[in-house]
Structure 1
Amino acid sequence: MKAKNSDFKGGDKMDLNKINVFFNFLVANLVSILFLLGLFVVNVSMYKAFGQNIGLLCIGITLIVISLILNHESNQERS
Structure 2
Amino acid sequence: MGLFRLLFWIAIIAAAFWLWRRFTRTPTARPEDRNTGAAPMVRCAHCGTHVPRSHALAKDEQWFCSQTHLEQGPQSGER
TM-score over 0.5 (shorter chain): no
TM score, norm. by length of structure 2: 0.30
Higher strand share: 2
Larger Rg belongs to: 2
> If each structure's helix is expressed as a fraction of its own residues, which one has the higher value?
1
TM-score, length of structure 1 as denominator length: 0.30
